[in-house]
Structures are given as structure tokens and as C-alpha cells.
Amino acid sequence: MDFLYFCKLNIIAMKRILFPGLLLILALTSCDRNVQGGRDTIALVKAIASDNSRYEHVLLSSFSKLPSSGDICLIGSPESCRLISESFLACDIAENARGRDWSDGLKDFAGEIFASVSDGRFSPYGAFVAEHGRDSLRDLAVRLAIAALDSKCSASIYDLDGNLVKTPAKVIILADPWLLGCGKFDIDTLFAMTSCTVPVLSPQDLLLDAALGGEKKYFNIGIVCDSLYLKDGVYGELFAAKAREYDILGARCFPSPATGTVDVLASFLEDYVQSGNTDTLDAVLIDDWSVDEDALRKEIAAMRDYNREEYMRYGKLLSPHFTVFTSSSITMKSCYSLLRERSLFTHRIAQPRSRSYTVAPRLDANGTQFLLIPSENVQD
């Protein structure tokens, strides 16, 4: 045999043996670079990514191509999942034939199923972090995302093997700000390392990107959110992290509690003034899915009207380029565009529907181990 030909055969054989291992080494090296850059993924992610025979690795790798038949999965507290699911079911902000930005009287997500992983077991996550630490929530978030992609769930708390069939997710929406701060990075890292292409959206991430990631920068920003999150300071953390991501210096935020669906902006501005603030605001981010956006637009118009009392009281607090961003419209538009761009709509001729799974403790485990049980199967 020709010596050069023999050498080529050996080189080809070595590539076949070494190439898969090389990919894994490069992936893990990427994690090491994250450590050097100040951010590392958790041990669970590394363990799953490094063992291609492990159940979770095999499961995630099967999503290298996405079918359109999956559910849109929401993960978070029961209340946040309910509000987001109801908004998606009623959504009509796009002209469905061409995807343009106006209502056509048809449900935008016709035929889709919104599956809520309603976590009343471990939420509220701020309290969970205070008791168990941030890494425990990061671990939990990864496990919840994997459970969303599984095709099995449990019939009851006694069904530890998961004998019911469920539809896996084709899109995951993290319905809680804590899951952005403690989870999304690790989920994204794991999915990338296992070739899983399921998109993971966070309403708060999209909201902050809109304010800080566009061509126009907003420096003095208000945030309207659930009062639960004011005590634990999660929005301040997320805002600071996003400002660092975009290298924006001097940006400030003022979080304030949502006080209902009427006069939302006026209530926020009243709180802003009562807290001793006088600087004009560039934008207000509203992370409350119950807010009526039509009423909000009318409220802004009244504050800009020189002939209205609202202008004298609040209008001077709004900068000339003042803008309001709402997580509800931004998230629904992003999800709609994603489904169109990646041909993930089911195209079933049916009204959008919802289903729900309850996060229940495993009777044979401690910590963050859990079961997913269809909510209709859960006994009070």
C-alpha cells in the first residue's frame, strides 16, 4: 500500500474518533472562559453536557430540529402563568396573512396550545433564593426547562416514573424575573452545548433590551412591577446587568408597584414624585400583563395635552422623547415573529387553548426534585 495513502487513511480514522470529543472539549473550554469572564454555568449543566448517554442529554439533543406540533410553555408562579396565558389566548395585534402590525379580528395564536408549568411549590422565587441560595434556583430553572421538553409527566404524586404522555415545548417563556437572573444563562448554555434549538424567551429580558439595546438609549427609566419584587430588588439587579451588557454608564431605574389597571402611569408618577424625584423620565417599563394598553395610551395623551390638568401635574416629568414599553406586547410580538420566521405555527384551524401542569414534590427526594402533574389530576 502506498505510504501516503496509508497516512491519509489513519488521519481520517483519527478525525472520526477525536472530532466528537473535540467538540465537547471546546464546549467545556467555553465554560472555562465564562469563569474567567466572571460568569460560570452550574454543575448540573456541565454534568449533562459532558455525558451524551445521560437521559437529559439525549432528550435535549433530540430537539436539534423543532416540530411545529409542540406547545408554547410558560414557567413560573401560578398567577404569572395565568396572566400571561390569558393574554396570549386573547392576542390580536398582528395581521395574520402578512404578519403586519395591526389587528385583523383573528386570534394571532390560533391553533396553538399554551402549557403552563405552574410552580406553586418553589415560588415565590425571591423567598426561595433567600432560603436556599441563587445556585439552587439556577438548578431548579434548568430542571423545569428540561421537564417542559419531556414527553412524560406523572398521573399523581405516587407516579414517580411518569406514566402519562405530554406534548413537549417548542418555545419556553420564563414567566418570572428571577428566572431571568437565575436560570436563563444556564438554560441557554445547556441548550447550546446539546444542540437543542428550542427558543427561551424572558419578558423582562425583552423589555430591558427594548429600552437599553436599541439605537435610542434611555437613561432615566421607571419600572412598574408587582410589589412582591420590590422587596427583593430583582429588577434593580436585572437593570444593572443589562446596562453593563450594553456598556451604558449613568443609567438609573426607579421600580414602583403596580396599583391596578386604571391610571397606571399617574399612580407611578405620583410615587416617583413622593419619593423625592424631580428629573424627567425617558421611559417607563410596565411589567404587568393586566394593564389595558389602550387606556395607557389615552393616559399618556392626556399628560401631553397642554389644555389638560394632567399636563401641569405630570407632563413636565416626561422627557420630549418619553416612551412606554410593556412586556406583554413586546413578548407577544416577539413570540409571534419567532413562530413565523421559523415556521413553527401549527396551522390548526382552532381557537388557541391552554393547559396547565402543577409542580409537585417527589415523595422519594428532597431539594429541587419534583414531578409535573396535569392540574386536573391534582387533589386538594
85 & 210 share domain: no
Asked if the structure places residue 234 within a domain, the reply is yes
Q: Give the whole-angstrom CA distance, residue 281 versus residue 253.
A: 9
Residues 214, 321 contacting (CB under 8 angstroms): no
Structurally, how many domains does the chain consist of?
3
Whether residues 31 and 173 fall in one domain: no
CA distance 92 to 105: 7
Q: What is the pLDDT of residues 330-377, one digit of tens each?
A: 999 999 999 999 999 998 889 999 999 999 999 887 777 899 999 998
Q: Are residues 219 and 179 in the same domain?
A: no
pLDDT of residue 11: 45
Residue 369 lies in a domain: yes
Tell whether the model's pLDDT for residue 238 goes beyond 60. yes
Q: Is residue 28 part of a domain?
A: yes
**Helices marked H in the chain:** 3-36, 43-50, 55-61, 78-90, 125-132, 134-149, 177-179, 185-193, 203-212, 228-232, 234-245, 264-274, 293-303, 309-314, 327-341
Residues 119-131 have pLDDT tens digits of: 999 999 999 999 9
What pLDDT is attached to residue 231? 85
255 in any annotated domain:
yes
Report pLDDT digits (tens) over 10-41: 444 444 444 444 444 444 444 443 443 458 99
Instruction: Write the single-letter amino acid at 78.
Output: P
In a domain, 336, yes or no: no
The enclosing domain of 313 has a CATH number of 3.40.50
> Does residue 193 belong to any structural domain of this protein?
yes
State the pLDDT at residue 147: 97
| Residue 333, in any domain of the structure | no
Tell me which residue range forms the domain holding 314.
206-328
pLDDT given for residue 25 in this prediction: 42
CB 180 within 8 A of CB 186: no
Residues 56 and 178 in one domain: yes
Residues 303 and 356 in one domain: no
Q: Are 147 and 234 within one domain?
A: no
Whole-number mean pLDDT of the chain? 88
Q: What is the pLDDT of residue 30?
A: 43
Residue 356: strand, helix, or coil: strand
